[in-house]
Structure 1
Amino acid sequence: MTDETTTDEPADAITSAISALRERAAHQGPNVAADAEASEALGVHLAVNTERRNLRILEALLFAAAEPLDEETLIGRLPLEANIQDLLGKLRDEYAERGVHLSEVGGRWRFETAPDLADVLVEVKQEPRKLSQAALETLSIIAYHQPVTRAEIEEIRGVAVSRGTLDLLFELRWVRPRGRRRTPGRPVTYGTTQGFMEYFSLQSIGDLPGMSDLKAAGLLDARLPPDFSVPDPSRSVEPDLLEDPLSDEEAHAFHVDFMDGDDDPDGAT
């Protein structure tokens, strides 16, 4: 019997070795039984140390990241035997009572300050850029109706959308061009971004407040038209609303042209 087990040995290999030693111990006396017990204790110790190291690696990755990380990225940096779901759950539990929490936003993970400590962070918290009423309305329409074209935004608001409004939403990286609608003219559609999800702490777009939530918060007038409704942002998109997505290069070119003064570089309306 050799003692060359390392912290990189998979847990099932350790378990198999321990089982073999137990079987030998049943037939070869107390000395082998003692060896089996010692090896079992070593296996448990190594497994605990391996998990602890993986937790430390995960903690370091999330702490050092400039933006939230998805599970695929985290898995690529962890040892092969690491169970990412189990590790994230344990790390979240460890930080549950601390000044920072491990949170999931838009399918990605990050550390953020505990909500109950907001009052002591007011003095050092960055003042967010305030949006105009027009920008708030435009952003809300895009969030709830996406994918939505500029003409549809204007139809819902009842007024034209100014360049300055869309410029601001682009600069904040809350809005992006999504694709071209499969309708005559192939107009560009707009949608929200990962940055929008992170800023408003949304795990999915379906977490946006519904009509009852908006009423409870006093954000809707009590005298609403009988046919008024708040769209469900998590709804299934109708087939005739499907779009051809823009590649990263096309989206970048569109954004550059838009900011330079041409919001439809291909001439579609």
Structure 2
Amino acid sequence: MAEAARKRRGRSDDHRSGDRLFDRELDHLPPDARWREWMHRVEATIFAASEPVTRETLARVVGKSCSIDLLIDDIREELRGRPYDLVAAAGGWKHLTRPAYADAIRSAFGTAVGDSGLAVDLTQSDVLVLMCIAYFQPITRAELSSFFGKEISRDLIGHLRGAKLIASGPRSPTPGAPYTYVTTKEFLLEFGLDTLRDLPDFEALEDAGLLSKEKLLAGDIIPGFEDIDDSGASIALDE
């Protein structure tokens, strides 16, 4: 056991030693060259990641005095003429192709795999329920049904869960302690949001005729959602 402990300590010491050998500060470089190297490190780290890269992760590859936000701004400026960009998504940054090239990507792969990382086929009914979950989470299926004046089917909820756009939240304190539903990181990625604070405000949605807070809270049907049948099965309004 003592020998195993020494080996573990040795590996730990090696890791710390390797970490010290990685030069984040780059004090030996002129300021312009130092900034350029930091830009390259940040872009390479984001490019290599399959998930959005957080500020804390990026801070591991640059100096303490480096502004991550300014680095991102400079990288995005250099990418201005490229078919992809760095975007804030789900609490970090991610390389995404520009929407103008979605058709080309679909032609090549059958789906726009580069624009959000997801390929989700949503009906208008799905989108309206998802929107309600996003604004009122955590929320139960019964509460959703009350909002829309029609039963929200388990199939519809299952479709959104299968697409990884929603997940089970905490149990409701109401009788029976039903599960609530909340949106996921995949939801943020799919809709190009950094956090839920980036959701459009109610006034903007009301001005566009897409949502009425008063009707929602009164339990009235949202315009465009009348075609959910009485059995609770969702009908694809946009098909």
Q: Which category of TM-score, normalised to the shorter sequence, fits these structures? A: 0.5 to 0.7
User: How many residues in Structure 1 have an aligned counterpart in Structure 2?
Assistant: 190
CA distance in 2, matches of 1:9, 1:74: 11
Q: Distance in 2 between matches of 1:165 and 1:68?
A: 28
1:121, CA displacement in angstroms? Answer: 4.3
For residue 111 of structure 2, the aligned residue among 120, 126, 138 is 126
Query: Which runs of structure 2 are paired with 1:50-65 in the superposition (5 Å)?
Result: 50-65=34-49
Counterparts of 1:227 and 1:51, CA distance in 2: 51
Which residue of structure 1 lines up, in the alignment, with residue 146 of structure 2?
Answer: 155
Task: Indicate how the Cα distance of structure 1 residues 206 and 189 shifts in structure 2: closer, same or farther if over 3 A, else same.
Answer: same
C-alpha displacement at 1:215, in angstroms?
5.3
Aligned to 1:166: 157
**Among 109, 113, 127, which residue is 1:136 paired with?**
127
RMSD: 3.3
CA contact (8 A) 2:52 2:90 kept: no
What's 1:228 paired with? Answer: 215
TM-score norm. by structure 1 comes to 0.59
CA distance in structure 2 between the aligned counterparts of 1:160 and 1:210, rounded to whole angstroms: 26
**1:84 maps to what in 2?**
68
Q: Is the 8 A contact 1:8 1:50 kept in 2?
A: no
Q: Based on CA coordinates, which of the two structures has the bigger radius of gyration?
A: 1
Counterpart residue identity of residue 126, structure 1 = T
Gaps of 5+ in 1: 1-6, 15-42, 231-269
Contact 2:52–2:91 (CA under 8 A) maintained in structure 1: no
Give 1:97's match in structure 2, choosing from 81, 99, 105.
Answer: 81
Residue 93 of structure 1: how far off its partner (Å): 2.1
State the shift of 1:200 in Å. 0.6
Identity of aligned residues (%): 32
1:181 counterpart (156, 160, 172): 172
Give, in whole Å, the separation in 2 of the partners of 1:119 and 1:213: 29
Give 5+ residue unaligned stretches, structure 2.
1-21, 113-118, 218-239
| Higher RCO (CA-CA < 8 Å; seq separation 6+) | 2
